[in-house]
Amino acid sequence: MSLKLSYLRRPALHFGTITSCISPARTCRAQYSSHSPMGSTTTTRKKVTIQTLRNLYKKNEPITVLTASDFPSGHVADTAGMEIVLVGDSLAMVAMGMEDTNEVTMDEMLLHCRSVNRAVKSAFTIADLPMGSYETNPEKALTSAIRMVKEGGMQGIKLEGGAEMAPTIQKITSAGIPVMAHIGLTPQRQHSLGGFRVQGKSVTGAVKLLTDALAVQKAGAFMIIIEAVPAEIAAIVTRRLSVPTIGIGSGNGCSGQVLVQVDMLGNFPEGRFLPKFVKTYGDVWGEARRGIEAYRGEVKSRAFPSREFTYGVDSEALAEFERIVEGMPAEKEE
């Protein structure tokens, strides 16, 4: 349909101001789009630093760590009081739908790091170095770590491996980048471990775990994740160290705990496999599905959008618009 020039020259019709409100108690602001930024939450919490984490360790106060893969998950983890927000390579599976962590690339990790970095204001941020970005030699690992800091906005990095990674950890820490080591079950090496299997169950395995822990500590790691290790073994290893350990499936004898946010919030469909150590603290999937199904139902029945969710129009402007439309020539059918 085309409008005659005379119609186009008429004064603009005013159909009301579009506004956006965070809550009824807050002042509305002009908003000319249905899309708006998430915003940030004002917090009085001090910025968590390496020294903050060391102080918690000295006081024997458990350190809380949670993964995040984007702005919303980073935002909620930070405002909920996590000391550390970890951009884990588990995002390959929970955020990108990949089969395992080995598929995610450095550039993909950096994209997620930048998103999380925009959200986190207080917590200490750490990112996983993805498989292939650090194993070849310490120099390549340092280059990757620098990218995580400069391009991803992270404050530290995490890498998997024990004593064999000591030279790499030393190289990165000597450049002033904090390193969180990861021993026990190392998912990037699942194929050489025979799958996702509990580590440190035998005497030989427990000794290796302790040897790895001491080696990465000596190399400069400021913190060590211990994954899928019997609680008693992890506790003994923790007591032998002078840096904090973060357990995941390794009991509460560690200096702190970490879980994957999607797992602990229950943001997954029924039937999905969960490791034994995951406790779910919510039902995000169920709540989201119930909300979406309710929305679908109201759209189908035309109950949504009701008057309260629509914009008003000045009656004179509406009458003028209707007069213009009525005066327009009818479209000819082909």
Distance of alpha carbon 296 from alpha carbon 288, whole angstroms: 12
Handedness of CA 205, 210, 215, 217 (dihedral sign): positive
The tokens describing 61, both together, are 């106060």
Q: Which residue reads 């490791």 in tokens?
A: 275
Judge contact between 232 and 60, C-beta under 8 A.
no
Burial 48-85 (b: 16+ CB within 10 A, else e): beeebbeebbeeeebbbbbbbbbbebbbbbbbeebbbb
Distance of alpha carbon 179 from alpha carbon 141, whole angstroms: 11
Sort strands 84-87 and 124-128 into parallel, antiparallel or unpaired.
parallel
Distance of alpha carbon 138 from alpha carbon 144, whole angstroms: 10
Distance of alpha carbon 327 from alpha carbon 96, whole angstroms: 54
Q: Is 227 a catalytic residue?
A: yes
DSSP 188-203: GGHHHHTSS---S-SH
Please return the burial class of 321, using the count of CB atoms within 10 Å of its CB with bins 0-12, 13-18 and 19+.
middle
Query: Rounded to the nearest 10 degrees, how much is the dihedral formed by the CA atoms of 96, 97, 103, 106?
Result: 0
Handedness of CA 65, 272, 276, 280 (dihedral sign): positive
Catalytic residue among 108, 227, 298, 333: 227
Q: Which residues are catalytic?
A: 227
